[in-house]
């Protein structure tokens, strides 16, 4: 059974919150700034942790403790994205839903987040006290950086051309 999303999209488009977001000149830029800040918090945490695992920075800091320290910033970034993402969607729900780039971005973010939660974080936890990350963890760091980079580039592309 296939459902038609047009009713939901019209409801989003015609909601009072959508009207406020669209018609005030400052709301979309303010929400986008917060959304970008959330992306920076998440990717910054991922980048620093993975560069540590690859032996590129903070070599005197144990990777496990560095990841633990950065996890609260990653959670804050996630909270910001979960709050601002739907608001940005409400600004132009029909247009975004009809844009294949939007779906691609969401899928790529889901893949990167899923990999982080299901694979990478578990490998990091298992090796938290190891002085030198092993080959599987280094490989996972490369995969993690690649997935997050692709997802972010898809978001940048969507923002630039939508």
Residue 127 has pLDDT above 80, yes or no: no
How far is the C-alpha of 153 from the C-alpha of 108, rounded, in Å? 10
The pLDDT, as a whole number, for residue 125 is 81
pLDDT in tens, 54-102: 989 888 888 888 888 999 999 999 999 999 999 999 998 988 888 888 8
Q: How many CB atoms lie within 10 A of CB 12?
A: 20
Reported pTM: 0.86
Please give the average per-residue pLDDT across 129-147, as a whole number. Answer: 86
The pLDDT, as a whole number, for residue 139 is 93
Contact indicator for 73, 44 with CB cutoff of 8 Å = yes
Q: How many CB atoms lie within 10 A of CB 119?
A: 14
Residue 160 has pLDDT above 90, yes or no: no
Cα–chain-centroid distance for residue 68? 18
The pLDDT, as a whole number, for residue 162 is 58
Contact indicator for 161, 101 with CB cutoff of 8 Å = yes
How many residues are there in the chain? 162
User: Could you tell me which of 98, 113, 111 has the C-alpha nearest to residue 158?
Assistant: 98
Q: How many CB atoms lie within 10 A of CB 70?
A: 19
Task: Kindly write down the DSSP assignment for every residue of 14-51, as one continuous string.
Answer: HSHHHHHHHHSTTHHHHHHHHHHHHHHHHHHHHHHHHH
The pLDDT, as a whole number, for residue 76 is 96
CB neighbours of 74 closer than 8 A, spacing ≥ 6? 41, 42, 45, 46
pLDDT in tens, 16-34: 999 999 898 899 999 999 9
User: Could you tell me which of 16, 46, 21 has the C-alpha nearest to residue 34?
Assistant: 21
Place 45 in a pLDDT band, splitting at 50, 70 and 90.
very high
> Which residue's structure tokens are 């190891």?
130
């Amino acid at each position: 059974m296939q459902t038609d999303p047009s009713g939901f999209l019209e409801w989003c488009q015609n909601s009072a919150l959508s009207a406020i977001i669209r018609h005030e000149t400052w709301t979309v830029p303010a929400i986008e700034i917060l959304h970008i800040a959330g992306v920076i918090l998440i990717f910054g945490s991922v980048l620093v942790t993975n560069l540590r695992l690859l032996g590129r920075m903070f070599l005197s800091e144990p990777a496990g403790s560095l990841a633990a320290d950065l996890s609260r910033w990653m959670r804050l970034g996630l909270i910001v994205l979960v709050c601002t993402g739907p608001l940005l969607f409400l600004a132009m729900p029909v247009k975004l839903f009809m844009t294949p780039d939007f779906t691609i971005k969401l899928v790529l973010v889901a893949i990167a987040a899923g990999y982080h939660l299901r694979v990478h974080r578990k490998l990091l936890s298992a090796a938290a006290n190891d002085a030198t990350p092993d080959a599987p963890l280094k490989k996972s760091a490369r995969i993690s950086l690649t997935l997050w980079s692709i997802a972010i580039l898809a978001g940048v592309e969507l923002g630039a051309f939508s």
